């Protein structure tokens, strides 16, 4: 009996000594969790900027590109052979194996830029959700005509203080509970948003919206330039909602074989992105049909009743982002702390550990930290919060993040690595098609970035710094 257990365990051990138990279904679940996030809240507004013709096309087009490049990236998990080659455990490992160390630097800059940008976006989104709760409760108890105005600046400061405290905890990014909570919370506010939009659509007795989206003219209060910037920004919002490639290799690294990991991951990507696309198209289009061209930037801010359900959705957003913020922040902390520690190996500031016992932890456990961790992490979170207060534009920030991440991480690196891995012949039909996809994605990213930055500049002329409003 014991021999059978040993033999069974040996069968589970992979060629690198690790035991992997992931299946197509666990990988699909991870894929859905990785894709669905706060970006989903901007989809009705994004469809409104492009209308019934271009909006759904953009949603489905970004989904197809994300899936296609995910298939290419799945074949690069092992190098040089996609079935029997050496494993690469992270996205940057794949870049190093396929393209060399110089490209790792470029990839790292893109990844850390999107990580930090997402922290800024999460700070703004959290303040928006808390303001929505305050406004919804005010309208419920004081009447819908009451002047319920609140500033999000203090909410951002409070969120920053919470994140400063959480940033001092060790290995927070490894806590499984964060992924579980993120999945539950993101599903909660996403489904509530879809339900409320469907209910509003039903009460309207007909779909709203136009073929080309928000109209230009004095009556609509929208100039041609604003329409253009918003349409381009909407492309970035949709691209941000489909951010997935950065985590694909890490998900694939949990999958057991046989069948080979790339086969399993391709199926998981098809199911995961397929389910996500159905949901995104449903929320984007139902939300647009419910609100028409007046769709709010964050769909949850468009509802007041039932106030308790709206509050549940907005609180779910806040709970999700409190934990998710650290998932994005911890890799940045680890990167610069490792570099600084190696640069000054004898400095007590970077290496001497202090221990503080906290009664709340129980069991006499202590929180251990260095002065580097205390000072620099606090300063980093404070700086991020300050930038968020200076740029309190939910849709513009999401659009810029999508633009930054879409071309390099979703298209360029997967396509270029696949060409190197599969030895695609330069000048061949397949090579030309892949390079055309590369150039097309670059143009989309540049346009989305220009639209988002132009909208920020335009808005900065009409807002007061450090005064965040819904």
Write out the chain's pLDDT in tens, 470 residues: 455 544 444 445 666 556 667 778 878 877 777 677 777 888 999 999 988 999 999 999 989 998 999 898 888 888 787 777 788 877 888 888 888 888 888 888 888 888 888 888 888 888 888 888 888 888 878 877 777 777 778 889 999 999 988 887 765 445 556 667 777 888 888 889 999 999 999 998 888 888 888 888 766 567 787 888 888 888 888 887 787 777 788 788 777 777 878 888 888 889 888 888 998 999 999 999 999 888 888 888 888 888 899 999 999 988 888 877 877 787 788 778 777 887 887 777 776 677 777 665 555 566 676 788 888 889 999 999 988 887 766 667 777 777 777 888 888 888 998 888 888 888 899 999 999 999 988 988 888 888 888 877 777 666 666 666 55
pLDDT number for residue 9: 46
pLDDT number for residue 381: 92
Burial class (CB in 10 A: 0-12, 13-18, 19+), 267: middle
* Structural domains in the chain, sorted by start: 27-342+371-461 (1.20.1740.10)
Among 413, 376, 368, residue whose Cα is nearest residue 90: 413
Task: Determine contact, residues 189/317, Cβ cutoff 8 Å.
Answer: yes
Task: Determine contact, residues 141/405, Cβ cutoff 8 Å.
Answer: no
Cα angle 436, 89, 272; round to 5 = 60
Task: Determine contact, residues 385/157, Cβ cutoff 8 Å.
Answer: yes
Among 416, 443, 445, residue whose Cα is nearest residue 102: 416
- Token output for 13: 């051990």
pLDDT number for residue 44: 92
Task: Determine contact, residues 262/77, Cβ cutoff 8 Å.
Answer: yes
Distance CA 337, CA 352 (A): 13
> pTM of the predicted model, to two decimals?
0.79
């Amino acid at each position: 009996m014991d021999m059978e257990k040993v033999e069974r365990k040996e069968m589970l051990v992979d060629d690198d000594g690790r035991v992997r138990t992931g299946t197509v279904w666990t990988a699909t679940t991870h894929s859905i969790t990785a894709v669905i996030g706060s970006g989903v809240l901007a989809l009705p507004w994004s469809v409104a900027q492009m209308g019934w013709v271009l909006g759904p096309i953009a949603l489905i087009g970004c989904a197809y590109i994300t899936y296609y490049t995910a298939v290419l990236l799945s074949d690069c998990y092992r190098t040089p052979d996609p079935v029997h080659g050496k494993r690469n455990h992270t996205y940057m490992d794949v870049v190093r194996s396929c393209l060399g160390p110089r490209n790792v630097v470029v990839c790292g800059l893109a990844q850390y830029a999107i990580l930090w940008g997402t922290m800024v976006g999460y700070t703004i989104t959290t303040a928006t959700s808390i303001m929505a709760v305050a406004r919804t409760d005010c309208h419920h108890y004081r009447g819908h005509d009451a002047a319920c105005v609140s500033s999000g600046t203090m909410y951002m400061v409070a969120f920053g203080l919470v994140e400063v405290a959480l940033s001092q905890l060790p290995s927070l990014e490894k806590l499984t509970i964060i992924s579980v909570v993120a999945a539950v919370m993101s599903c909660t506010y996403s489904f509530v948003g879809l339900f409320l939009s469907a209910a509003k659509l039903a009460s309207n007795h007909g779909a709203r919206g136009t073929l080309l989206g928000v109209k230009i003219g004095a009556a609509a209060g929208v100039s041609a330039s604003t329409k253009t910037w918003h349409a381009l920004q909407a492309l970035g919002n949709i691209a941000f909602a489909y951010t997935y490639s950065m985590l694909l290799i890490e998900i694939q690294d949990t999958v057991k074989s046989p069948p080979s990991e790339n086969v399993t991951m391709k199926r998981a990507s098809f199911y995961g992105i397929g389910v996500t696309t159905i949901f995104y198209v449903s929320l984007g289009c139902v939300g647009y049909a419910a609100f028409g061209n007046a769709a709010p930037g964050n769909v949850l801010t468009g509802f007041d009743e039932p106030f308790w359900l709206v509050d549940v959705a907005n609180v779910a957003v806040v709970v999700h982002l409190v934990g998710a913020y650290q998932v994005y922040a911890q890799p940045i902390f680890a990167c610069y702390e490792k570099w600084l520690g190696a640069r000054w190996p004898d400095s007590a500031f970077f290496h001497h550990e202090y221990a503080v016992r906290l009664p709340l932890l129980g069991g006499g456990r202590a929180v251990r930290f260095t002065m580097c961790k205390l000072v620099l992490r606090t300063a980093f979170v404070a700086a991020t919060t300050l930038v968020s207060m200076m740029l309190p534009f939910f849709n513009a920030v999401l659009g810029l993040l999508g633009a930054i991440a879409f071309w390099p991480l979703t298209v360029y690196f997967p396509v270029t690595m696949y060409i190197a891995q599969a030895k695609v012949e330069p000048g061949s039909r397949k090579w030309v098609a892949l390079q055309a996809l590369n150039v097309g994605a670059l143009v989309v990213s540049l346009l989305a970035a220009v639209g988002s930055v132009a909208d920020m500049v335009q808005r900065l002329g009409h807002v007061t710094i450090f005064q965040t409003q819904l």
